[in-house]
Amino acid sequence: EAGVAQSPRYKIIEKRQSVAFWCNPISGHATLYWYQQILGQGPKLLIQFQNNGVVDDSQLPKDRFSAERLKGVDSTLKIQPAKLEDSAVYLCASSRATSAGGRDEQFFGPGTRLTVL
């Protein structure tokens, strides 16, 4: 079974530029998560999708971050415009859970390392 795929693996941009990350979850996984991992900290949930609906985006900075999962499969996370403090690893995870309170294991992708100069 193929794992969670993410691209690009690395991205360097100037502040105020835009950037987008892509995630392809494990086939058949209904739930998709985006986490932000700042250096020296644990991952923090940005947004959770159940199929193509948003379950939790309470910690997503909506003035600059957006995410979508239009067909309930792939997802993109966008930052526009980027700030220095957005430098982090952006992790995508997926699980089989077919309901918002599902207890299935989350499988993580390798992450995208973003550096904002």
Partner 1 sequence: GNSVTQMEGPVTLSEEAFLTINCTYTATGYPSLFWYVQYPGEGLQLLLKATKADDKGSNKGFEATYRKETTSFHLEKGSVQVSDSAVYFCALRSGNTGKLIFGQGTTLQVKP
| Binding residues vs partner 1 (CB under 8 A) | 3-4, 31, 33, 35, 40-45, 48, 55-56, 91, 93, 95, 97, 100-106, 108-111
Q: Which two tokens stand for residue 37?
A: 């991992």
Q: What residue type is assigned to position 99 of the chain?
A: S
Whichever of 17 and 96 has its CB closer to partner 1, that residue is 96
CB of 50 to partner 1, least distance (A): 9
CA distance 109 to 94: 9
Whichever of 15 and 62 has its CB closer to partner 1, that residue is 62
> Cβ of 48: how many Cβ atoms within 10 Å?
22
Whichever of 33 and 65 has its CB closer to partner 1, that residue is 33
